[in-house]
Amino acid sequence: MLDIKFLRENPDVVKKNIQNKFQDEKLPLVDEVIKLDVEKRDAQKEADDLRANRNKISKQIGALMAQGKKEEAEETKKKVAEFASHLAELEEKEKELDEKILKIMMTIPNIIDPSVPIGKDDSENVEVTKYGEPVVPDFEIPYHSEIMESFDGIDLDSARKVAGNGFYYLMGDIARLHSAVISYARDFMIERGFTYCVPPFMIRSNVVTGVMSFAEMDAMMYKIEGEDLYLIGTSEHSMIGKFIDTIIPEETLPKTLTSYSPCFRKEKGAHGLEERGVYRIHQFEKQEMIVVCKPEESPMWFDKLWQNTVDLFRSLDIPVRTLECCSGDLADLKVKSFDVEAWSPRQKKYFEVGSCSNLGDAQARRLKIRVNGENGKYFAHTLNNTVVAPPRMLIAFLENNLKADGSVAIPEPLRPYMGGKTEIKPNK
């Protein structure tokens, strides 16, 4: 969320940013919020003047009573009562205007970084760097769910009966591999200095609206009926929420946390052929990383975060690339974002396995996450990034480690988590 003072002083900058994000329907909101802000400040000034006059006149009542001027004192009391009535009206008007302004400010997108490429949607995202050499083997690679089925490692039919489409049972070696990847990712991040955390898997509505836009909330979040609780779509939500309404001593920054959680998502809309199986689902597990830091340090942390994901995938010998998300592909709170994509030998192309985002002070402003520094208090910057998100990561892993005989090689870093196995062999 933008600072109202910034918008007030830089309306053309805010409008240009909206145009760069191809959200022209939001342009009138800038003038509307400026108008409401003027009304609010006028009401605030009138209320402040009224309070000052009320206090001044109230002091006269005691003096009049002391002088025996009871009638004048009573008349003065009536004036004070009239002031109180009008003041209550002004305070109610301020409250209503505050709510209207906040609602609009929550929908105006954050100012994107100048380095972000301008484009309408993800088709205009820009490749940054490739890591590792993509390989297409000389044998046919089955669809990922077929690979899992060869190990008796997945049961989608039973999951549909139990929970519906978008759910799964992982079994045997595939389930073990899933857990191994999560455990390896946890230890990988701990070794890089991040503090491990298991957060709440449900959060209140004020945290939801603090960490994401209304559009994201509607498309993603599952509401717990009858309670002010939502299932998290990613542990970033509750991890950033951990700092709600806090003032953090500057010397304790940065806060670097890595968290495990299940994730629950509506995933509205149709998703196409390549999203069958476990590519896009309603429930999955993930290892995440978040940083809360000083504003001047967030660009440096952004680069560190996406590099962590690249390094983890490369440690498992999976080729990846980074894409910079264009302006139209950025969620409203984001300043800058990179996607990390893994190589799919079957599709002969890359697909998304993680996303790294710098949100500037947008989440901190909404959640009131402040830093107490030498020169006073200011809003922190927040960042987040996916470490790994199986089972989608398993698709890349299985395809890149599949052998011609149907077995799957286990890279050395994962072997301690797989009971020392160097490979797993299909049952059929």
Quick one: CA dihedral 276, 278, 281, 282, positive or negative? positive
Whether residue 210 lies inside any domain: the answer is yes
Predicted confidence at residue 428, as pLDDT, reads 74
Residue 272 has pLDDT above 50, yes or no: no
Residue 18 has pLDDT above 50, yes or no: yes
Place 64 in a pLDDT band, splitting at 50, 70 and 90. low
Percent of the chain with pLDDT over 90: 80
Weakest mean pLDDT among 85-94, 179-188, 210-219, 272-281 = 272-281
Which of 309, 295, 310, 306 has its CA nearest to residue 382? 295
Tell the residue number behind the tokens 């008349």, with chain if given: 75
Residue 289 has pLDDT above 80, yes or no: yes
Q: Do 95 and 132 reside in the same domain of the chain?
A: no
Predicted confidence at residue 84, as pLDDT, reads 74
Predicted confidence at residue 388, as pLDDT, reads 96
Predicted confidence at residue 273, as pLDDT, reads 41
Report, as an integer, the average pLDDT of 102-117. 96
What is the pTM assigned to this prediction? 0.89
Q: Do 143 and 215 reside in the same domain of the chain?
A: yes
- Facing residues of 350 across strands? 343
Residue 67 has pLDDT above 70, yes or no: no
* More confident of the two residues 428 and 355: 355
Give dist(CA 198, CA 79) in Å, integer. Answer: 59
Q: Do 43 and 87 reside in the same domain of the chain?
A: yes
Q: Do 138 and 263 reside in the same domain of the chain?
A: yes
* More confident of the two residues 89 and 264: 264
How would you write the chain as a 3-class SS string?
CCCHHHHHHCHHHHHHHHHHCCCHHHHHHHHHHHHHHHHHHHHHHHHHHHHHHHHHHHHHHHHHHHCCCHHHHHHHHHHHHHHHHHHHHHHHHHHHHHHHHHHHHCCCCCCCCCCCCCCCCHHHCEEEEEECCCCCCCCCCCCHHHHHHHCCCEEHHHHHHHCCCCCCEECHHHHHHHHHHHHHHHHHHHHCCCEEECCCCEECHHHHHHHCCHHHHHHHCEECCCCCCEECCCHHHHHHHCCCCEEEEHHHCCEEEEEEEEEECCCCCCCCHHHCCCCCCCEEEEEEEEEEECHHHHHHHHHHHHHHHHHHHHHCCCCEEEEECCHHHCCCCCCEEEEEEEEECCCCEEEEEEEEEECCCHHHHHHCEEEEECCEEEECEEEEEEEECCCHHHHHHHHHHECCCCCEECCHHHHHHHCCCCEECCCC
pLDDT digits (tens, 9 = 90+) for 393-420: 999 999 999 999 999 999 999 999 999 9
Residue 119 has pLDDT above 80, yes or no: yes
Q: Do 220 and 100 reside in the same domain of the chain?
A: no
Which of 251, 373, 354, 240 has its CA nearest to residue 308? 354
Give dist(CA 135, CA 399) in Å, integer. Answer: 10
Whether residue 299 lies inside any domain: the answer is yes
Q: Do 126 and 98 reside in the same domain of the chain?
A: no
Weakest mean pLDDT among 73-77, 152-156, 384-388 = 73-77
Place 62 in a pLDDT band, splitting at 50, 70 and 90. low
Query: Using an 8 Å Cβ cutoff, are 193 and 296 in contact?
Result: no
Distances in Å between the alpha carbon of 374 and those of 42, 204, 371?
34, 33, 10
Looking at the 3D structure of the chain, how many domains does it have?
2
Domain that holds residue 359: 122-424
Distances in Å between the alpha carbon of 109 and those of 219, 230, 262, 328, 355?
17, 23, 28, 11, 19
234: Cβ contacts below 8 Å, ≥ 6 apart: 261, 263, 286, 288, 384
Q: Do 160 and 97 reside in the same domain of the chain?
A: no
Predicted confidence at residue 70, as pLDDT, reads 67
Report, as an integer, the average pLDDT of 364-382. 96
Predicted confidence at residue 122, as pLDDT, reads 94
Work out the mean pLDDT of the chain and round it to a whole number: 92
Q: Do 290 and 322 reside in the same domain of the chain?
A: yes
CATH number of the domain where residue 61 is located: 1.10.287.40
**Residue at which a domain ends, from 73, 105, 137:** 105
CATH number of the domain where residue 393 is located: 3.30.930.10
* More confident of the two residues 86 and 298: 298
pLDDT digits (tens, 9 = 90+) for 190-205: 999 999 999 999 999 9
Predicted confidence at residue 270, as pLDDT, reads 43
Give dist(CA 196, CA 186) in Å, integer. Answer: 7
Place 61 in a pLDDT band, splitting at 50, 70 and 90. low
Whether residue 404 lies inside any domain: the answer is yes
Q: Do 97 and 193 reside in the same domain of the chain?
A: no
